[in-house]
Amino acid sequence: MQDDPRIRIAARTVDRRRPTLWYKDAIIYQTHVRAFFDSNNDGVGDFPGLTEKLDYIEDLGVSAIWLLPFFPSPLKDDGYDISDYCAVNPAYGTLDDFRTFVEAAHARGLRVLIELVVNHTSDQHPWFQRARRAPKGSPERDFYVWSETGHEYDEARIIFIDSEISNWTWDPIAKAYFWHRFYSHQPDLNFDNPLVIREVKNILNFWLDLGVDGFRLDAVPYLIEREGTDGENVPETHRVLKMIRAEVERRNPDCVLLAEANQMPKDTLPYFGNGDECHMAFHFPLMPRMFIAVAQEDSTPIIEVVESTMRLPENCQWAIFLRNHDELTLEMVTEDERDYMWQFYATHRRLRINLGIRRRLATLLDGDCRRIELLNSLLFSMPGTPVLYYGDEIGMGDNPFLGDRDVVRTPMQWSADSNAGFSKADTVALYLPPVMDPLFGYQAVNVEVQKKIRSSLLNWMRWVIRVRNAHQAFGRGDFRFLHPENRKVLAYLRCFGEETILCVANLSETMQAVQLDLSDLAGCIPIDLFGGCLMPVIEAAPYPLTLGGHAFYWLRLLSPEEARSRSDNPQEAMDRPELPAKDRIQGQRPSG
């Protein structure tokens, strides 16, 4: 594989000397080591398995991989309950396996982001075991947040409302209550203790030395608690984040910090600081509003939220996502919006958890390819870096009969072979069963089959990603909404340098006509980024377009001079990527 010239070219793109803002052009693929591929057939995915499947991830066209926690852990919260920050959970391999994985990813030009989960540890972490036995008021005890009464900070909400009744839990060994924003086996670290800060720096440096390119900062709004507040976004939190940023920058100026701050727009923006805290933050405010807009066939929810979250420091970027490993959170929408979302997307109580919906993208959208493609077109063209959850590129299903959020964490569906081609272990040994229902199960939905079918979701995703990657305007461009009268149509411009791209999406199930005010672009000629079709020239009068149900267009606007000089060769298109011969159905023509 090392002889493959593509790999040599890609390897050169990872330049570790100076900040490149690479994350602005990136597409991030989120996966869990244990869910991806099991190389030793013990039923659990592992680093060698993930390394084996890097060809698949590279072929998708993404540029970075974000790994869910893979550290030693009692796994009561799927690894977000960490008992050792500087090691690999033996079930997933060794530190050497991790090193090999990072090297192999880098050789392909793929960056690696990992989790920094330091709001809390597992109660099995040696720091907690030591703290609960240490004298009151000692630095060891004060690694965590304690109370004699369990009444402090009572304005802080409970996040896991389906399983917890308080943010305080009595510890019989310490003979005191300890503070936890999540499960009661996850005591919160005390960021007022300088020794905790020192440990966080050690963790960062440990993984930076192993070559990681970024950290997702888990649950950052809750790092610090203060009386008289709701314990979220407390100003001192930003001092901690600036410290983390400085530490990371000192070691690797190209390393990226991605905040998980599930907050209202005005409270999410401060996580960027003045460009000196997190480089990226998940666009939690936008995510549910994309689903609401499609359900209501109305662009307003998207326009309102994007317009209120446009002003970011130069070096910062939103991370946009549709689904992830958690429930589709509805914490930060109004009660009416939440009820609407529940009624529309999760009528059965089993599909809900806490204040959210535990389903994957394909099941949320009833397997409707047109809506899946439409939402992905928004994911890949709205302002920000797209984050794609493993399996959603093939329309993988979920299993609502599993506990907690395991519903959406089942093995990757590689083929119709036993255990979805994920593992050759006995099914009983699998960490979770693969999805087996007739619509979304592995016999119907899997990589092997979708590779062969030219029009499959997988091949469509490869195509869209290829088109996005060819135009920096999507990652870095300015953003401007057009405001057509027909609110079922969402239209916006992405502009970067000489390039202007017009994106138009029909949120409705049926055909729509729309008139766009493009008078300032009169004389330009739109050209379709997928097929290269030239459209009629834009004039001062409103530009008419019609779109089929749930259709979308990405049109580059050629200036009159450009259009003239290209008239011999209007094919600026990015054709559908060809299927390699080995993936083609026998006897099929190369171009389908």
User: Under the rule (CB under 6 A), what is the footprint of ligand GLC?
Assistant: 77, 80, 117, 182, 218-219, 260, 325-326
Q: How far is the CB of 125 from ligand GLC (least distance, A)?
A: 13
The end-to-end CA distance of the chain, in Å, is 28
Which position among 213, 218, 277, 392 bears the catalytic label? 218
Nearer Cβ to ligand GLC (99/325): 325
| Residue 489, both tokens | 């149509």
Nearer Cβ to ligand GLC (219/293): 219
Q: Return d(Cα 364, Cα 300) in angstroms, integer.
A: 21
Nearer Cβ to ligand GLC (38/77): 77
Q: How far is the CB of 179 from ligand GLC (least distance, A)?
A: 14
Q: Are 359 and 398 in contact (CB under 8 A)?
A: yes
For the beta sheet containing 356-357, the strands, ordered from the edge strand earlier in sequence to the opposite edge, are 328-329, 356-357, 352-353
Which position among 171, 225, 260, 393 bears the catalytic label? 260
Query: What residue has token string 């298109």?
Result: 573
Nearer Cβ to ligand GLC (65/514): 65
Q: How far is the CB of 403 from ligand GLC (least distance, A)?
A: 13
DSSP per-residue string spanning 166-185: -SEEEETTTTEEEE-SS-TT
Q: Return d(Cα 273, Cα 263) in angstroms, integer.
A: 15
Q: Are 412 and 422 in contact (CB under 8 A)?
A: yes
Q: How far is the CB of 360 from ligand GLC (least distance, A)?
A: 15
- Main-chain phi, psi angles of 564, to 5 degrees: -65, -45
Q: How far is the CB of 405 from ligand GLC (least distance, A)?
A: 7
What's the Cα-to-Cα distance from 414 to each of 102, 123, 137, 271, rounded to whole Å? 22, 36, 53, 38
Q: Return d(Cα 85, Cα 343) in angstroms, integer.
A: 41
Q: Return d(Cα 289, Cα 334) in angstroms, integer.
A: 11
Q: How far is the CB of 400 from ligand GLC (least distance, A)?
A: 18
Helix (H) or strand (E) holding 30: strand 28-31
Nearer Cβ to ligand GLC (218/277): 218
Q: Is 260 a catalytic residue?
A: yes
SS3 annotation, 370-394: HHHHHHHHHHCCCCCEEEEECCCCC
User: Would residue 502 be called left, alpha or beta, if left means φ above 0 and alpha means ψ between -120 and 50 degrees?
Assistant: beta
Query: What residue has token string 């690694």?
Result: 143
Q: How far is the CB of 420 from ligand GLC (least distance, A)?
A: 23
237 contacts: CB under 8 Å, gap ≥ 6: 191, 220, 221, 223, 224
347 contacts: CB under 8 Å, gap ≥ 6: none
Q: How far is the CB of 260 from ligand GLC (least distance, A)?
A: 6
350 contacts: CB under 8 Å, gap ≥ 6: 400, 401
Q: How far is the CB of 117 from ligand GLC (least distance, A)?
A: 6
Q: How far is the CB of 410 from ligand GLC (least distance, A)?
A: 15
Nearer Cβ to ligand GLC (117/538): 117
Q: Are 444 and 456 in contact (CB under 8 A)?
A: no
SS3 annotation, 414-449: CCCCHHHHCCCCCHHHCCCCCCCCCCCCCCCCCHHH
Nearer Cβ to ligand GLC (81/171): 81
Q: How far is the CB of 182 from ligand GLC (least distance, A)?
A: 4
The string over 278-297, giving b where at least 16 C-beta atoms fall within 10 Å of a residue's C-beta and e elsewhere, is bbbbbbbbbbbbbbbbbbbb
Nearer Cβ to ligand GLC (117/176): 117
Q: Return d(Cα 41, Cα 423) in angstroms, integer.
A: 5
What's the alpha-carbon Rg for the chain, to the nearest Å? 24
| Residue 551, both tokens | 């259709």
Q: Is 235 exposed, middle or buried (0-12, 13-18, 19+ CB in 10 A)?
A: exposed
Which residue's Cβ lies closest to ligand GLC?
Answer: 80
Taking residue 526's Cβ as centre, other Cβ atoms within 10 Å add up to 26
* Residues annotated catalytic, as ranges: 218, 260
